[in-house]
């Protein structure tokens, strides 16, 4: 158990819908990262927040957005969902903005 | 653009048969190289961080090494419970915002047969 929690574990929704994934970092960690893992693309970095501020961005689609709240939990919002958005979404956290990242158990999203 | 290539894609070993996994990388300003283990449907589990060429780290049957262009994960006398996908990632800094990002390889799927 890494100490990073993610909810929900599974999510099934339809195309065009919007969902919110939630992540609570390890106690004391200030950075939160979001990754997408699909069968054909491996683990892809989406975005990093450090103490509420966006610090790094990967190939995150405009339909996706994230934020980190004052209590340091983070949410990833996915809108106008497409079939291709079906994937495992992982959250990771680290103490600062460059230390080892510890991953949560993931949210499996299925878009039908 | 940062790139990480892992080989082989899949590796099947007999219990006790030692071997090595390779991770070659190109990154501007390497901040660190990370090894993770991932079981099916689970989140990656941290194994090692290497920061400079020549550095080595060990944990049980695993040993990670780093050169300027590649890293190796050596598995000595593996057991069936070592079966998993092993992921390599490089960390690069985003200087303008003091951020960081990991770029992952596709992984090596290891199967250890009893």
Size of interface A-B (CB pairs under 8 A): 70
Rounded-to-integer distance, Cα A87 and Cα B24, Å: 26
Residue B44: closest C-alpha in chain A: A103
Structure tokens at B35: 């090894």
Flag if B104 and A2 touch (Cβ within 8 Å): no
Would you give per-residue pLDDT tens digits along chain A (112 residues)? 889 999 999 999 999 999 999 999 999 999 999 999 998 778 999 999 999 999 999 989 999 999 999 999 999 999 999 999 999 999 999 998 778 999 999 999 999 9
* Chain B residues whose C-beta sits inside 8 Å of any chain A C-beta: 31-32, 34, 36, 41-46, 49, 87, 89, 91, 93-94, 97-107
Nearest Cβ partner for A98 among B41, B91, B106: B91
| Among B45, B48, B23, B17, CA closest to B35 | B48
Pick among B37, B99, B106, B109 to test the A interface (most A CBs inside 10 A): B99
Contacts of B106 in chain A (CB under 8 A): 42
Question: Which 3-state string (H, E, C) describes chain A?
Answer: CCCCEEECCEEEECCCCCEEEEEECCCCCCEEEEEEEECCCEEEEEEEEECCEEEEECCCCCCEEEEECCCCCEEEEECCCCHHHCEEEEEEEECCCCCCCEECCCEEEEEC
Residue A81 makes CB contacts below 8 A (sequence gap 6+) with A13, A14, A15, A16, A17, A18, A19, A63, A111
Flag if A101 and B43 touch (Cβ within 8 Å): no
Structure tokens at A101: 């990242």
Report whether A103 contacts B43 (CB < 8 A): yes
Mean pLDDT by 10 residues, chain B (114 residues): 94 97 89 94 95 95 95 98 97 82 95 97
Per-residue confidence (pLDDT) for residue A93, from 0 to 100: 97
Flag if A56 and B100 touch (Cβ within 8 Å): yes
């Amino acid at each position: 158990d890494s100490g990073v929690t993610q909810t929900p574990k599974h999510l099934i929704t339809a195309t065009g819908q919007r969902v919110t994934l939630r992540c609570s970092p390890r106690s004391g960690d200030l950075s939160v990262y979001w990754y997408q893992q699909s069968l054909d693309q491996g683990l892809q970095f989406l975005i990093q927040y450090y103490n509420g501020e966006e610090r790094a961005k990967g190939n995150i689609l405009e339909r996706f957005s994230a934020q980190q709240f004052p209590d340091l939990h983070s949410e990833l919002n996915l809108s106008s969902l497409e079939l291709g958005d079906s994937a495992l979404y992982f959250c990771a956290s680290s103490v600062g903005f460059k230390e080892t990242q510890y991953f949560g158990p993931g949210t499996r999203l299925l878009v039908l | 653009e940062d790139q990480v290539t892992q080989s082989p894609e899949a590796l099947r070993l007999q219990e006790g048969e030692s071997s090595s996994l390779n991770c070659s990388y190109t990154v501007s300003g390497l901040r660190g190289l990370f090894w993770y283990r991932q079981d099916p449907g689970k989140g990656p589990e941290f194994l090692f961080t290497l920061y400079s060429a020549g550095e080595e780290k060990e944990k049980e049957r695993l040993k990670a090494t780093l050169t300027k262009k590649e890293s190796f994960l050596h598995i000595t006398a593996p057991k069936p419970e070592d079966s998993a996908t092993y992921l390599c990632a490089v960390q690069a800094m985003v200087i303008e915002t003091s951020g960081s990002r990991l770029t992952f390889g596709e992984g090596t799927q290891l199967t250890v047969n009893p």
